[in-house]
A and B are shown apart, each in its own frame.
Chain A
């Protein structure tokens, strides 16, 4: 494949699935200023692996694998920065919370609860919310479907409890 042709195809794939990249970045990077760096890092890794894409898997499976692998590693490397930023972000979000419409408030809560999950639980919940079926989630994570089902059930239950606590 010519480089230009490859570039065009890559651009189409990225345009079509850009939401995945932005949502992964938002899920693993709490500091808004660092998100473009994470998105760029994910895109670099996607580009470097593009010629090796194996169509045995869906293109989304391939994108989720690379994006989440990069994000989890990025999160580990930048955890010092992230930890430094949490108090300020939390404070600001609390002040701004009451001014937002209900849907926005609930979305922020969902984001907050997901951020409180451990890295792999976060990836699992992210894929569940992205409406991936258990088979695809098991292929992306590399665990059995029954394991996916059990873990999703547990995490969902804890999220629901957190929402219920806030409501009460």
Chain B
């Protein structure tokens, strides 16, 4: 098919939009009366809910842990205290990172050229992998918070062996995932297994788009 025929074919689209003026006019009326959306109103309810639950969790557990550190340090299990402190700290870092990235995405200038805008957006989107990496670092503390000093002095030796194996295993997994959940590993089977769900599709799509952008940025 000739170039001119392709373009004429495309131009025949225009006839389909002759009666579209009403929709445009209605949209202009609605939009011109619209108030500028706040950052919060652009977030999906489920995301707002997750962030709120996270903040409440960090607030309550953080207050309890701080009080225990200040007023009852010698009376509580240090395993519990440090495990809870690490868990709360990592959750707080994950929430702050997530909110910071969402704010940056919200502030991206979409009047810029497409490659530039999309690259900024998808790089921010793929950097949400950081949140997952940080959250995986919590794994080992879920195997230590219930321990006490007496378990080591008076406890069953078999239990202790299993406990040490489980904690070392979880620590290895946490560190391995922290260092390996990266854009470069997106084609690996284990990566696809972890990020196999509809909620991860936009993230995986962003990664595909980043490949296209890199292709466009390389010289012709």
Q: Please report which residues of chain A, range 6-65, place their CB below 8 angstroms from some CB of chain B when the two chains form the complex.
A: 7, 10-11, 14-15, 18-19, 21-23, 26, 36, 39-40, 43-45, 47-49, 52, 54, 62, 65
In the complex the two chains form, is A65's CB within 8 Å of B220's CB? Answer: no
Q: Please report which residues of chain B, range 1-39, place their CB below 8 angstroms from some CB of chain A when the two chains form the complex.
A: 1, 3, 6-7, 9-10, 12-14, 16-17, 20-21, 23-25, 27-28, 30-32, 34, 36
B196 beta carbon closer than 8 Å to chain A: no
The residue on A at minimum CB distance from B16 is A22
Q: Specify the main secondary structure of chain B where it touches its partner.
A: helix
Q: Please report which residues of chain B, range 111-143, place their CB below 8 angstroms from some CB of chain A when the two chains form the complex.
A: 111-118, 121
Contacts of A141 in B (CB 8 A): 113-115, 216
- Contacts A10-B28, A77-B202, A142-B114 hold; do A159 and B216 have CB atoms under 8 A apart? no
Residues of B in contact (CB 8 Å), total 46
In the complex the two chains form, is A147's CB within 8 Å of B216's CB? Answer: yes
A119 beta carbon closer than 8 Å to chain B: yes
Contacts of B36 in A (CB 8 A): 48
Contacts of A92 in B (CB 8 A): none
- Contacts A18-B20, A65-B113 hold; do A103 and B28 have CB atoms under 8 A apart? no
The residue on B at minimum CB distance from A46 is B31
- Contacts A43-B27, A140-B113 hold; do A160 and B1 have CB atoms under 8 A apart? yes
A40 CA to B20 CA in the complex, in Å?
13
- Contacts A15-B24, A69-B117 hold; do A23 and B206 have CB atoms under 8 A apart? no
A140 CA to B113 CA in the complex, in Å?
5
The residue on A at minimum CB distance from B113 is A142
Q: B7, B30, B36, B205 — which one has the most chain A CB atoms within 10 A of its CB?
A: B205
In the complex the two chains form, is A65's CB within 8 Å of B198's CB? Answer: no
Min Cβ gap B115→A in Å is 4
Contact with B along A142-168 (1 / 0, CB 8 A): 111011011100001001100110000
Partner pick for B114 among A68, A77, A110, A146, CB 8 A cutoff = A68
Partner pick for A120 among B9, B20, B34, B209, CB 8 A cutoff = B209
Contacts of A73 in B (CB 8 A): 118, 121
Contacts of B209 in A (CB 8 A): 72, 76, 119-120
The residue on B at minimum CB distance from A62 is B111
In the complex the two chains form, is B31's CB within 8 Å of A146's CB? Answer: no
A54 CA to B111 CA in the complex, in Å?
10
In the complex the two chains form, is B113's CB within 8 Å of A129's CB? Answer: no
Q: Please report which residues of chain B, range 184-201, place their CB below 8 angstroms from some CB of chain A when the two chains form the complex.
A: 198, 201
A49 CA to B20 CA in the complex, in Å?
23
Contacts of A159 in B (CB 8 A): 1, 6
A3 beta carbon closer than 8 Å to chain B: yes
A87 CA to B160 CA in the complex, in Å?
56
Q: Please report which residues of chain A, range 61-86, place their CB below 8 angstroms from some CB of chain B when the two chains form the complex.
A: 62, 65-66, 68-70, 72-73, 76-77, 79-80
A45 CA to B157 CA in the complex, in Å?
65
Contacts of B205 in A (CB 8 A): 76, 79
B45 beta carbon closer than 8 Å to chain A: no
Which residues from chain A sit less than 8 Å from chain B, CB to CB?
3, 7, 10-11, 14-15, 18-19, 21-23, 26, 36, 39-40, 43-45, 47-49, 52, 54, 62, 65-66, 68-70, 72-73, 76-77, 79-80, 103, 106-107, 110, 118-121, 123, 129-131, 139-144, 146-147, 149-151, 156, 159-160, 163-164
Which residues from chain B sit less than 8 Å from chain A, CB to CB?
1, 3, 6-7, 9-10, 12-14, 16-17, 20-21, 23-25, 27-28, 30-32, 34, 36, 110-118, 121, 198, 201-202, 205-206, 208-209, 212-213, 216-217, 219-220
